[in-house]
Chains A and B, each alone.
Chain A
Amino acid sequence: MVAPLDRANIDTDAIIPKQFLKSIKRSGFGQNLFDEWRYLDHGEPGMDSSKRTLNPDFILNQLRYQGAQILLARSNFGCGSSREHAPWALQDYGFRVVIAPSFADIFFSNCFKIGLLPIVLGTDSIDRIFSEVDSTEGYALTVNLEDQTVTTPCGEICSFDTDPFRRHCLLNGLDEISLTLQHMDKIIAFEQRRRTEQPWLFK
């Protein structure tokens, strides 16, 4: 199911305000996703979010969008800081996919690292999906990562592109560090050469 957030340039401070970045954990950020838009009171870490007042005007608070796994937004989604807390918060809230016409670079690559899928679709498709979501309660899309397609309820298919390596890692749940360490010999050889050619880079 899809939840629409009709704004461009949604930044990482909006996705997860900085006071929540003080946590030294990876989980639990979902309750503070879009905190300043979502609640009427000011949120601080450690507050019981079930006791806070929700902002009835914020679209994600509407009953019809509860349980959505796909977030639909406008261009340059995730601009701002490099905080991985932003994708963590989206994922922890329950989103598995974010669809937008464009994403900020660091946010985009952070998503793949944690298994949240950012999908770039053309503005025309996005416009259409926005209006269909609005007019259809329970509007759902089918996302197929293997085929790289998004299918609308009436059967229309939009294709998207992902990097083959990232797709492979995501589909197979691979740990990038282990994959990189398979090249350990090459890293050591590169480092040795560097040590001779640019010794000032080493202590």
Chain B
Amino acid sequence: MQTLYDKLWQGHIVHEESDKPDEMALVYIDRHLVHEVTSPQAFEGLRIAGRKPWRLDSILAVADHNVPTTERSHGITDPISRLQVDTLDQNCEDLGITEFKMTDLRQGIVHVVGPEQGATLPGMTVVCGDSHTSTHGAFACLAFGIGTSEVEHVLATQCLLLKKAKSMQILVEGNLGPGVTAKDIALAIIGKIGTAGGNGYVIEFAGNAIRELSMEARMTICNMAIEGGSRAGMIAVDETTIDYIKGRPFAPRGDLWERATTYWRTLKSDEGAAFDRVVTLDAAQIKPQVTWGTSPEMVTTIDGRVPDPAQVTDTVKRHDMENALKYMGLTPNLPISEIYLDKIFIGSCTNSRIEDLRAAAVVVRGRHIAANIKLAMVVPGSGLVKRQAEEEGLDKVFRDAGFEWREPGCSMCLAMNDDRLSAGERCASTSNRNFEGRQGPGGRTHLVSPAMAAAAAVAGHFVDVREIY
């Protein structure tokens, strides 16, 4: 009896020292996604060593981190950002790598683009020089982020040296309440296991609450696996997976489609397969989540309060909490619903897909952002998501409500382009990291779902989105 992870692992071993099962194995990589920030040094290394990419058709490149989200026809103004994007363009052109350039309709955040194009297919090993590669695990892939040396290693050999991780099953059973979304499940899980809880593990998310989620929502959950410390998260294949892939540009067709789907349907853990650790959550108990600190595990529910470090006995933990509260400018015991905001960011590879934009639009439709909100922005995950949203009239809903409607990219998720918080500014963000300075030096980030971010935009402070519906 095998877990899904066992199956994916075993199916990709090129070489292992058979007498030493604990040693590293050489694992084959099917899909290599590339973006501008973590690749230039890898391409340079390849060039210096006189090597060529092993398999060009496994690589898909797109610039996302540095690209501006405003009018693009004049290019990128920041010369350093421009150099990085130009370097990617040049490397792809020189080597013959498929790239969606900045002005291509298909351009967007690499983790939105891969699945949208059908470039992420079940059973694949997927890597990218980016920790949120875990997103692609929603398609029953073994997908994980790698460093630049490993990017070079995959380019040169199509393989990676890896050690098998332990396995964790996270079972979410029961029915989610209205207004509670995949983002809330993800934050609730991290609140439970901690940001280091998944270190050394690969997580499989299962249970009926997970099976009932759309692919977009499953991607949100797997995306956040890394915030729980796990390099890879995954979900078994079912009809939802297969329906999503059908007809996408990189997906197989005709006879190959039949063959592929027959195989894909085997990509699930066998009944009774053993995991090293099992964690269970009751979906019905999950409420909308809001982070109050500088780590995704510093999270509570919308009806909760900012915790009081004085109540914590562990000195390291208390110290961390005090630091976090100081940075966040919050006082202990303040009700979450009394936290007022300056900016709202709806976007990032966690929550910038069409379903996320729809969920936010439902809340803001016919309403307007509060007077204290200096900026509310929606940044679609890709050009295609943007077009779809415009066809549905969502851009108008957001604009009428006072939101800015932007071009696709990572944007204020990490503030490498011009979109950022100023020191002291407080933001409700649908992204995945609330680290110090993540959205701009001195900026204060609260992670929430798209619906909760939209509700906060309208109210000016956090509110329970379930009361707005």
Contact = CB atoms under 8 A, between A and B. Distances in A.
B416 A104 contact: no
A152 interface: no
Interface string B124-148: 1000011101000000000011111
Interface in B103-126: 121, 123-124
A46 B38 CA distance: 19
Given A46-B80, A75-B196, A201-B30, A105 B161 contact: no
Nearest to B200: A105
A132 B438 CA distance: 33
Give the one of B14, B124, B133, B319 with max A CB within 10 A. Answer: B14
Nearest to B146: A82
Contacts of A105: 165, 199-200, 229-231
Contacts of A21: 37, 65, 416
Given A76-B199, A105-B199, A83 B320 contact: no
A16 B318 CA distance: 25
Contacts of A46: 80
A82 B145 contact: yes
B123 A198 contact: yes
Given A7-B323, A8-B316, A80-B433, A22 B153 contact: no
Contacts of B84: 22, 24
Chain B: interface size category: 35 or more
Interface string A1-23: 00000111101011001110111
Nearest to B151: A84
A106 B28 contact: no
A9 B194 CA distance: 11
B252 A200 contact: yes
A191 B297 CA distance: 41
B256 interface: yes
Interface in A5-57: 6-9, 11, 13-14, 17-19, 21-26, 36, 42, 45-46
Interface string A161-203: 0011110000000001100110100110011001000111111
Contacts of A85: 148
Contacts of A83: 37-38, 147-148
Contacts of B28: 187, 190-191, 194
Interface in A100-141: 102-106, 109-110, 113-114
Give the one of B121, B144, B441 with max A CB within 10 A. Answer: B441
Nearest to B57: A203
A183 B15 contact: yes
Given A18-B416, A76-B195, A180-B157, A163 B40 contact: no
- Which are the 10 A-B pairs with shortest beta-carbon distances? A200-B252, A113-B149, A110-B147, A84-B147, A82-B145, A24-B40, A203-B57, A76-B196, A84-B148, A82-B131
Given A81-B145, A83-B37, A202-B57, 16 more contacts: A8-B317, A11-B433, A14-B437, A18-B416, A22-B83, A23-B80, A76-B195, A79-B195, A79-B196, A105-B231, A114-B149, A177-B153, A186-B14, A187-B14, A191-B55, A198-B123
21 contacts: A7-B320, A13-B437, A14-B435, A14-B436, A17-B437, A22-B78, A24-B40, A80-B435, A81-B131, A82-B38, A82-B147, A84-B129, A163-B23, A177-B152, A183-B159, A186-B15, A191-B158, A198-B123, A199-B259, A200-B121, A200-B259
Interface of B: 14-15, 23-24, 26, 28, 30, 37-38, 40-41, 44, 49, 51, 54-55, 57, 65-66, 78, 80-81, 83-84, 87, 121, 123-124, 129-131, 133, 144-150, 152-153, 156-159, 161, 163, 165, 195-196, 199-200, 229-231, 251-252, 256-257, 259-260, 263, 295, 316-317, 319-320, 323, 414-416, 433, 435-438, 441
